[in-house]
Amino acid sequence: MTIHKEGRTLLFILLLVLFAINWLLSYLFPENALLQQIAIGVSIVLYFAVLQFFRNPKVVVELNDKQILAPADGKIVAIEETEETEYLKERRTQISIFMSPINVHVNRLPVGGVVSFYRYHPGRYLVAWHPKSSTENERTTLAVRMASGLEILVRQIAGAVARRIRCYVKEGQPVNQGEEFGFIKFGSRVDVFVPTGAQVRVAVGDRTVAGKTVLAELN
């Protein structure tokens, strides 16, 4: 288990701030041992809560060009046929994964190939399950063209708490299935648009693991 690069600076600053607060309390209230113990306890709980958010476990990916893997840890909140209007311009099955603050927030590519499309959109911060969040919230959309020519689209969506999306790929870049492509801070949603003829292997309410859970299988 390692700490993700997105959290290292924040964790260092937080450690300094908590140390300063506890030192100040001991200086101002040297005889109040109970207050100091409470402050230390709260600081430890807070620090480890933030620390677990930025954990980056090692994932062994079983490559399979017939499978579409989950891009995020979380819970399936929607599976529905819809029109993808931004890039693909066709009917697709949308599978949405909600990431809570306790999930690992590393995002991984559901398929391998070449990044054929990438766009970042600034926007609002509606709750991640709001119907308009996928079109009005801050979001990043990318598509990967597989060796077969089929394209799979993935959309990172910010939520009411998650206000920082990171995406590390660009158009024309070769990528591998299960490879890390981004990070969303403090919970949000990731949508995957798979062909309508694909065999969906998950159901609403299922838990997913990025790079491990099979969302759908291609014919």
Give how far Cα 79 sits from Cα of 92, 104, 184, 203, 215, Å: 10, 22, 21, 7, 10
The single-letter DSSP state of residue 65 is T
Sign of CA dihedral 7, 9, 14, 15: positive
Distance between first and last Cα of the chain: 36
Phi-psi region of 218 (alpha: psi -120 to 50; beta: other; left: phi over 0): beta
Which pair of structure tokens corresponds to residue 119?
A: 């766009």
Q: Which two tokens stand for residue 182?
A: 């981004």
- Backbone dihedral region of 101: left (phi > 0), alpha (psi from -120 to 50 degrees) or beta? alpha
194 touches 161 (CB < 8 A) = no
Q: Which residues are catalytic?
A: 188
